[in-house]
Amino acid sequence: MAEKKYKVGYTTGVFDMFHIGHLNILKRAKEQCDYLIVGVSTDELVNHDKHKQPIIPFSERIEIVKAIKYVDEVVPQINKDKFAAWERYKFDKMFVGSDWKGTDAWNGFEEQFSKVGVEIVYLEHTDGISSTILREKLKTLQGCDF
């Protein structure tokens, strides 16, 4: 097996209602690094940033992500300070969904991380699935017999 180009990778997410899109991101990230650290957003961070409560509580979401074979370490993501995360975990590659590419926030992260040799890799978003889509489907199913 060929040695992977990067030793330590890092990615974050809410991972609410874990679905195939989440799994695809984790699998693609792990294919490019030896050790993958995943930050799972706390309920408080989701409430603050997205103004909604996750359907699956943090304590359960973190256990789900820990059980994924592509994940080597799971840590709580308590804020969006990616550079503080780098200072703590010393990753050399950060993975994020392609839907963030070109945004002001991620352009800023690219500039900041280029100074310390960290590459940001945008992984393709899995079309047709997201926690938001699942929330909408649940709303339409309310009142239906299962």
Residues carrying an active site annotation: 50, 52
Tell me the HSE value of 40 on the side-chain side, using a 13 A CA sphere.
24
- Residue 85 belongs to what H/E stretch? helix 82-89
Whether residue 101 contacts residue 120, with contact meaning beta carbons closer than 8 Å, is answered with no
**Which of 5, 7, 8 lies closest to 85 in space, CA to CA?**
8
